[in-house]
């Protein structure tokens, strides 16, 4: 395999590195590996560096992890919002992601974060928390079709009778539409409603304030760590000029709403 034949790295920031990633058809780099790939219409050569470590979290100098010492990592038994959707979503997420290490820790952390945001934001806690449990199920092997986890997760949900609103929240979480456009998947993603509400923002904010191991992080640090870990040839890096400002705007909107007095 030549360096110029490499495709962008897969979009999963938690997958353990291996010699070949069959889901995305791209090389998963071993820790510290340095490869040079060709990208862009002019054939410009960019250094593609993977900084995965054994735990799935790159150590990025200068990034602040909120409460790094003794920070709480959510567990499935924690007190979360309860309701029929949440109960079913937690069961499904456990069956699909429960043995996926950091992926499962992250999922639990996002669910806990979402449950805590619902009340202050005045949104449906059952719906938001259910979507949080389900947002990354598209990484589980039984769900993978396209290799794009928001779409694969949404397709799995609709194929198993879940409400289309839940599937839409999963399909578009964390600015997925930008990556879908870059990967030529926008038409498939458009089968789902692109809900632009406080609840949808809250799901993205929950995802962007929980790191790979389930720890609470600052959204800017989370995004910077992700870009550093994926490297300059990833799909995430390619859409950064559009997705980065979008995620910043979501965080700003949610953080502004959280400063407002409780109307009740």
Query: Mean pLDDT throughout 71-79?
Result: 39
Task: Pick the most confident of 24-33, 78-87, 194-203.
Answer: 194-203
- What is the predicted pLDDT for the residue at 261? 84
pTM above the 0.85 mark? no
Q: Average pLDDT, whole number, for the chain?
A: 77
- What is the predicted pLDDT for the residue at 80? 65
d(CA 171, CA 151): 5
Q: What is the dihedral of CA 100, 106, 107, 108, to 10 degrees?
A: 110
- What is the predicted pLDDT for the residue at 81? 64
Mean pLDDT lowest among 77-81, 117-121, 141-145, 195-199: 77-81
């Amino acid at each position: 395999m030549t360096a110029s034949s490499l495709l962008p790295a897969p979009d999963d920031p938690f997958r353990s590195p291996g010699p070949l990633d069959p889901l995305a058809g791209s090389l998963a780099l071993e820790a510290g590996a340095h490869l040079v790939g060709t990208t862009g219409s002019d054939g410009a050569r960019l250094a593609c560096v993977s900084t995965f470590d054994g735990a799935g979290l790159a150590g990025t100098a200068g990034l602040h992890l909120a409460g790094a010492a003794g920070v709480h990592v959510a567990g499935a038994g924690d007190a979360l919002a309860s309701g029929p959707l949440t109960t079913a979503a937690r069961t499904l997420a456990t069956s699909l992601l429960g043995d996926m290490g950091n992926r499962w820790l992250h999922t639990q952390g996002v669910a806990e974060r979402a449950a805590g945001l619902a009340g202050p934001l005045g949104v449906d806690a059952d719906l938001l928390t259910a979507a949080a449990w389900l947002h990354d199920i598209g990484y589980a092997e039984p769900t993978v079709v396209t290799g794009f986890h928001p779409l694969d997760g949404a397709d799995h949900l609709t194929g198993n009778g879940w409400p289309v609103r839940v599937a839409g929240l999963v399909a578009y979480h964390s600015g997925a539409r930008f990556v879908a456009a870059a990967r030529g998947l926008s038409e498939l993603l458009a089968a789902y409603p692109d809900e632009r509400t406080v609840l949808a923002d809250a799901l993205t904010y929950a995802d962007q304030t929980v790191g790979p191991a389930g720890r609470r992080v600052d959204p800017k640090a989370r995004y910077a760590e992700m870009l550093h870990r994926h490297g300059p040839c990833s799909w995430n890096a390619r859409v950064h000029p559009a997705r980065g400002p979008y995620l910043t705007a979501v965080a700003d909107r949610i953080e502004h709403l959280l400063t407002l007095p409780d109307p009740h």
